[in-house]
Amino acid sequence: MPLKKQIESVRNQFLADIESFPNDPPLIDQLRSKYLGRKGLVAQLLSKMSQVKPEDRPNIGKELNNLKIDLNRQFDHKVSSLLAKDHKYADESIDITLPGKEPRIGSIHILEQTLSEIKEIFISIGFHVAYGPEVDDDYHNFSALNIPESHPARDMQDTFFVDNKTVLRTHTSNVQIHLMENEEPPIRYIVPGRVYRNEAISYKSYCLFHQVEGIYVNKRVSFAELKGCLEYFIRHMFGAKRKMRFRPSYFPFTEPSAEVDIWDEERHEWLEILGCGMVDPNVLDNVGYDSNIWHGYAFGMGVERIAMLKYNINDIRLFYNGDIRFLEQFI
């Protein structure tokens, strides 16, 4: 049979099939594959073009192209008409021409926003960012930080123990030990991350929270430098007019030590935001630094406390309960 007649035969066969085929989109796709698939009837006709006389090829080629276009058009029309009759749109009370609801777009959590701001401030004055293990051994979390097993300072922190020698870290200070063990001084790092305390949950305490540890070790480091660094941070975090003060305090891994308070205008009281001090010589000796040559300062702040003060949030639990009404305030 001449190829031109075969083309007409395929067209007639297609018209009969599409009229009698069930009104089911998946089955329509099967029919499309029968005619227009890679091994379909149209493809088989195209493969026979080499048998056509050269002078007849333009006309036969045009016929085949028209057949392919026509079949595609009729398939699309068939599927569109089926969708229009779909039972989902039978209810005339539904206006299918209205735009759909836009999906909710996520945003950066307020804690991550606060943490990013803290990091940017310290990076701007030469600090690098490091991370470390949240599950660590007793030595790095306590002993190397001048807190031996019998030290009463261990009672300051209620610890989650994995086993007798492994804990969920109670502060990010464990990472300063890892850093000093693996790097030669001078070093200047901040260490953000989650910490864990086995504390009663209330509006001001939670079983996990976020800290940013800072450590700077060099040959000539003074408490005045520490004070200037933290004053710079507070001015950029809370504004140039925010009042602050240093109070003498005690931490086993720094000496002398201090706590930093800022004045809360709404509560009309001083609120502590971080602890700091000069790195205790014993800590430097524990990591192999010569404390006669190297000196340093360290500080640690709670990210939740910073966010609560900056955005006037009165309950730490709001950060963790996933309430969209709360989170949407900080988009």
Residue 156 has pLDDT above 80, yes or no: no
Nearest 5 degrees, angle CA 46-CA 52-CA 53?
150
pLDDT of residue 297: 97
DSSP label of 57: H
The residue extents of the domains of the chain are 3-89, 110-330
pLDDT of residue 18: 75
Residue 318 has pLDDT above 90, yes or no: yes
Per DSSP, the chain holds a count of helices (H) and strands (E) of 11, 10
Residue among 112, 130, 117 at smallest CA distance from 172: 130
Residue 145 has pLDDT above 90, yes or no: yes
Domain covering 110-330 in this structure, CATH number: 3.30.930.10
Other C-beta atoms closer than 10 Å to the C-beta of 72 total 14
Range of weakest confidence among 9-18, 123-132, 166-175, 283-292: 9-18
**Mean of the per-residue pLDDT values for the chain?**
87
- What percent of the chain stands above pLDDT 70? 92
**What number is the average pLDDT over the span 190-196?**
96
Residue 114 has pLDDT above 80, yes or no: yes
Residue 179 has pLDDT above 70, yes or no: yes
Range of weakest confidence among 44-58, 132-146, 284-298: 44-58
Whole-Å CA distances, 100 to 86, 106, 254? 18, 18, 59
Residue 56 has pLDDT above 90, yes or no: no
Buried b (16+ CB within 10 A) or exposed e, 151-184: eeebeebebeeeeeeebbbbbbbbbbbbbbeeee
Name the token pair of 7: 């083309």
Top pLDDT among 49 and 321 is at 321
Among all chains, which residue has been given the structure tokens 């926003």? 113
pLDDT of residue 25: 64
Residue 20 has pLDDT above 90, yes or no: no
Residue 122 has pLDDT above 70, yes or no: yes
Whole-angstrom distance, CA of residue 231 vs CA of residue 223? 12
Most confident of 62-71, 77-86, 319-328: 319-328
pLDDT of residue 91: 54
Residue 69 has pLDDT above 70, yes or no: yes
Helices (H), 91-205: 110-123, 138-141, 173-182
Amino acid at 110: I
CA within 13 Å, CB half, 307: 24
**What's the full length of the chain, in residues?**
331
**pLDDT tens digit string along 233-289?**
999 999 988 899 999 999 999 999 999 999 887 778 888 999 999 999 999 999 999
Res. 84 pLDDT band, cuts 50 70 90 = low
Residue 78 has pLDDT above 80, yes or no: no
Top pLDDT among 289 and 89 is at 289
Q: Where are the beta strands (DSSP E) in the chain?
A: 128-129, 135-137, 161-163, 166-168, 187-196, 208-218, 244-251, 254-264, 269-279, 295-302
pLDDT of residue 89: 47
